Amino acid sequence: MQESTVTRENALFDVAVIGSGPGGYEAALHAARHGMKVCLVEKGPLGGTCVNWGCIPTKALLRSAEVYELVKNPTTFGVNVSGASFDIAQAVKRSRNVALKSSKAVDYMLRKAGVDVRQGDAVLTGGTRVLITAPDGVTSEIGAGSLIVATGARPRAIPGLEPDGNRVITSREALIMKEVPASLIVAGGGAIGVEMAWFYAKAGSKVTIVEMMPRLLPLEDAEISDALKRSFEKAGITVLCGARIENVQRGDSQVGVDIVADGAEPRRAEADYLLVAIGVTGSIDGVGLETAGVRTDRGFIVTDGQCRSSVPGIYAIGDVRGGMLLAHKASAEAAIAVEAIAGRSPEPLDETFIPRCVYSQPSVASVGLTEESAVKLGHSVNVGRALFAASGKANAYGQLEGLVKLVFDASDGRMLGGHLIGHDAVELIGELVLACRLGLTAQEFVMTVHAHPTLSETIRDAAFSALPGTH
């Protein structure tokens, strides 16, 4: 590139943000509210992966599958429906429209706030200067007082399981299928694998999940993971834990794999597609971090509690920073980084109080310590449980699966963790996050009036069962 082809802008922005996902656009909006002059650079559609290829379109597809599941079995509700079928093309079209509307909403908010939005690839050139290459090839360089890197994450490359976009796919291809595959193997039993497996099983695919760890959602409470496995198996999904995939053979119409469990002979399996959902790594390539001197470790930018990188003036938030790879964590970090830039001293984010959600049905939501982790940390615990099957609201809705599990410190009574599995259980997690953050006791839950009939009453029931003498 010739030096003369680069347009340099002398006007200095207070903050430049690279990436427009939940972390990036929240950071830009937060900085604009502080009266800062802000530039945001995004190479793709506004909203990043979450809005366009992750959280939002996935939930739209899951909703389509949920509606189809209800329509297939409506007679107990007094509704007669005949000839129901699943139109994945229409479901995909709806999910893409939902994503597009969400992306436009991000655009509207940014422009209304006065953020200078620029489309193109951004590369750090040293200090807090950024080279922007627009889609038409025109380049410009901007400067900023502070720079926030919010480039997100990309699927982790696993040797032998490299996606080809044909028979070995990622969640991106899974979101825009034109037909429901007859069969699908999902490598990975984390949130992405579980959600995609549930969607395609409900749409009509024969689905097998292969997870290397001993259980689905291996970071969640064992009791909750076991309940999800039972639910999935009841729904016809084959769940193989403590197993791995080897010897992938890609054909024109199918993919073949060996499924290897410890101490067992390899088992050959074939399917229309292999969906690889085995984690992600930070999107750090091609950003110019090495040129700028920004330190990275195992695919993520190294930061302190206020999201500051190893280079003064450069911050990192969201998935590229590592830790919990969640959209709402990125949004929280956005506020921390901007407050630090504004000269304040924001509290570092405590991941203990970040909710974790999986949106299959039953859905899973949790916050804080699991029972196992609490015991390992030396806590003596009181555990309360309550089944949704005892809830009048759950019975009215015909959704009886699942439970609430609350973990309290036996010495001082404060809540250490809360865990839910059930229909739309994710919508109940807010109360548990607040309770965990404030260290509420089981007695305080019990003394709080919960509306009747609601699913939230099951939280109160779980707390009541944790009180001494109620077991």
Question: Domains of the chain by range and CATH?
Answer: 3-154+281-351 (3.50.50.60), 168-278 (3.50.50.60), 362-466 (3.30.390.30)
Structural tokens at position 419: 């865990």
Give the Cβ contact number of residue 144 at 10 Å: 22
Instruction: Band the pLDDT of 10: cuts 50, 70, 90.
Output: low
DSSP-derived 3-state class of residue 77: helix
Split at pLDDT 50, 70, 90, the class of 1 is: very low
Rg of the chain over CA atoms, in angstroms?
24
Q: How far is the C-alpha of 226 from the C-alpha of 216, rounded, in Å?
A: 8
Average pLDDT in the 375-402 region?
Answer: 97
Distance from C-alpha of 46 to C-alpha of 429, rounded to nearest angstrom: 28
Q: pLDDT for 248-287, tens place per residue?
A: 999 999 999 999 998 788 999 999 999 999 989 999 999 9
Over residues 108-152, the pLDDT tens digits come to: 999 999 999 999 999 999 999 999 999 999 999 999 999 999 999
Q: For position 468, what pLDDT does the model report?
A: 84
pLDDT beyond 60 at 3: no
Mean pLDDT value across residues 335-345: 97
Mean pLDDT of 215-243: 97
Catalytic residue among 379, 423, 450, 452: 452
Q: Which residue has the tokens 């597009």?
A: 100
Give mean pLDDT, residues 49-67. Answer: 96
For residue 231, name the pLDDT band (cuts at 50, 70, 90): very high
Say how far residue 341 (Cα) sits from the centre of its chain.
27
Distance from C-alpha of 49 to C-alpha of 36, rounded to nearest angstrom: 26
DSSP one-letter code for 241: E
The pLDDT mean for the chain works out to 95
Active site residue 450: no
Check: CB of residue 314 under 8 Å from CB of residue 149.
yes
